[in-house]
Structure 1
């Protein structure tokens, strides 16, 4: 499964598509059940590609230490908050708190992911 772990392209592509689908579903005025189902498939692809990168690179890059573990945790939280926003929106409940949590956790996850050894150094 070298195509999953040789570069981060597959993982970045899956989460960019997932974010686009999320914003389409979350910001539309109507229920978008088909988009939500496709987004759930994208969650699985994001997790599979992320987990394969995690297992391949965690021990090879020593300067990151526990940052990889934190990145996995925050990545799963991002997916959880995305799902909470969509489900609560469809039920007509308040989503303000989940939007804020989603934004904060997404920024932390992006920083951790892009600043690690196989990401972009900034």
Structure 2
């Protein structure tokens, strides 16, 4: 499964696709059939994000286990907040807190991902 762990390109591509689909689903009308379809596709992308992230975690966590573990945790929290925004939005419950948590967790996840040795070196 070298294509999953040689580079982070597949994982980053899945994240970009996931965030775009999440934003599309979040801003669609809550009762539309299209939103339900996009939400289901987004859930499939969540699974692919977790699989690619888990393979990278297993492959590279021996070099800095704590940072990789934190990134994995914040990645899961980010996905959790994405799902909470979509589900609570459909039920017409308040989502402001979950949007804020999503933004914070996403920024922390991106920072850790770029800071780790296998990530892009923006913070050198």
TM superposition score normalised by structure 2: 0.93
CA-atom RMSD, angstroms? 0.9
Counterpart of 2:61?
Answer: 58
1:50-74: CA deviation from partner (whole Å, max 9, x where unpaired): 0000000111x3xx44110000000
1:5-42: CA deviation from partner (whole Å, max 9, x where unpaired): 00000100011000000000012233400000000000
Corresponding position: 1:82 with 2:82: yes
Distance 1:23 1:114 in 2: 22
For 1:66, what is the secondary structure of its paired residue?
helix
Counterpart of 2:114?
Answer: 114
Counterpart of 1:17?
Answer: 17
TM superposition score normalised by structure 1: 0.94
Distance 2:77 2:51 in 1: 15
Counterpart of 1:98?
Answer: 98
CA contact (8 A) 2:5 2:59 kept: yes
Note the residue ranges of structure 2 that are not aligned, 5 or more in a row.
none
CA shift, 1:120, in A, is 1.7
Distance 1:29 1:56 in 2: 41
CA contact (8 A) 2:78 2:102 kept: yes
